[in-house]
């Protein structure tokens, strides 16, 4: 998946100078505070603080500020086909708020012109959106609602070292019953499934940007870069660095 940030901006608006418009490239709008009303081919909605919207090239839209709004704008290039949704409501509220806090930190003069750091956070936002939306497709078709809920918990807290016993407790069943029921539904143990989706997230980070291995490891729930590299090689047959070189040249 190729995703390249072209430009970014932080803006404050009490009204849009042009309410009816059309973008020439992909635009991700992440709202920090306030809200705006949006009409597009995807539908009608109000985009609130902590939510986002993607504007697609050559698609007309109408927007109107409802409350004075502060937002981050990311123009980007991609060949990926996104689901057309009126707005993006992130499931893991803590994670997107953390990203907003980091963006706020970058407003400091020391980091104000650092494009690479903002590109890294932009990729975090896109990664969260893709993983949550793809996970939603899986959950709606999972035959076991309890296991579907377990998968959602895994996706939302993938970067944390949460014991499987805690997940079982959240589901209201015993650890032994959780292990048995999960394997019966998916064919793998919860631990094996968790490792798989952590590695899939790692692949996205490796393919999208230049983050160091030691930065990617904790974002995907691995204790350190050495453990991450060993697990990655065991399951994929190549090191994270070798994988990155391979996908970059494709």
* 151 and 97 share one domain: no
* 164 and 79 share one domain: no
Specify whether the CB–CB gap between 59 and 22 falls below 8 A: yes
* 118 and 175 share one domain: no
* 44 and 18 share one domain: yes
* 184 and 204 share one domain: yes
More confident residue, 206 or 15: 15
Specify whether the CB–CB gap between 123 and 209 falls below 8 A: yes
Q: Say what the pLDDT of residue 155 is.
A: 79
* 114 and 148 share one domain: no
Burial of 223 (0-12, 13-18, 19+ CB in 10 A): exposed
Q: Say what the pLDDT of residue 250 is.
A: 46
* 179 and 146 share one domain: yes
Distance in angstroms (rounded) separating the CA atoms of residues 157 and 229: 21
Q: Where is 45: in which H helix or E strand?
A: strand 43-48
Kindly state whether residue 137 falls inside one of the protein's structural domains: no
Kindly state whether residue 178 falls inside one of the protein's structural domains: yes
More confident residue, 88 or 133: 88
* 8 and 126 share one domain: yes
DSSP string, 225-236: HHHHHHHHHHHH
Residue 114 banded pLDDT, cuts 50, 70, 90: confident
Question: How many separate domains does the chain show?
Answer: 2
Give the CATH number for residue 10.
2.60.120.10
Kindly state whether residue 118 falls inside one of the protein's structural domains: yes
Among residues 132, 152, 187, which one ends one of the domains?
Answer: 132
Kindly state whether residue 206 falls inside one of the protein's structural domains: yes
Domain of 152, in residue numbers: 142-249
Question: pLDDT for 51-107, tens place per residue?
Answer: 999 999 989 999 999 999 999 999 998 877 777 788 999 988 888 998 999 898 888
User: Token pair 């070798």 is at which residue?
Assistant: 242
Across the range 157-167, mean pLDDT stands at: 83
Question: pLDDT for 217-249, tens place per residue?
Answer: 988 889 899 999 999 999 999 999 998 887 655
Kindly state whether residue 171 falls inside one of the protein's structural domains: yes
């Amino acid at each position: 998946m190729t995703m390249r940030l072209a430009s970014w901006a932080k803006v404050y608006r009490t009204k849009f100078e042009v309410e009816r418009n059309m973008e020439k490239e992909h635009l991700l709008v992440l709202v920090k505070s306030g809200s705006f009303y949006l009409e597009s081919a995807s539908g009608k909605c109000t985009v609130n603080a902590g939510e986002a919207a993607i504007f697609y090239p050559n698609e007309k839209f109408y927007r109107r500020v409802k409350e004075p709004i502060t937002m981050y704008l990311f123009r980007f290039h991609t060949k990926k086909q996104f689901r057309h949704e009126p707005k993006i409501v992130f499931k893991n509220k803590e994670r997107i708020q953390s990203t907003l806090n980091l963006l706020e930190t970058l407003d400091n003069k020391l980091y104000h012109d650092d494009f690479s750091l903002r590109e890294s956070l932009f990729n975090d936002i896109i990664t969260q959106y893709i993983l949550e939306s793809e996970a939603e497709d899986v959950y709606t078709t999972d035959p076991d609602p309890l296991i579907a809920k377990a998968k959602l918990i895994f996706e939302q807290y993938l970067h944390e070292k949460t014991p499987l016993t805690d997940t079982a407790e959240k589901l209201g069943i015993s650890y032994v019953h959780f292990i048995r029921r999960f394997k019966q539904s998916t064919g793998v143990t919860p631990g094996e499934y968790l490792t798989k989706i952590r590695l899939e997230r790692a692949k996205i980070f490796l393919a999208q940007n230049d983050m160091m291995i030691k930065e990617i490891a904790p974002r995907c729930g691995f204790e350190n870069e050495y453990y991450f590299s060993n697990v990655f090689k065991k399951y994929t047959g190549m090191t994270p660095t070798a994988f990155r070189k391979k996908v970059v040249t494709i």
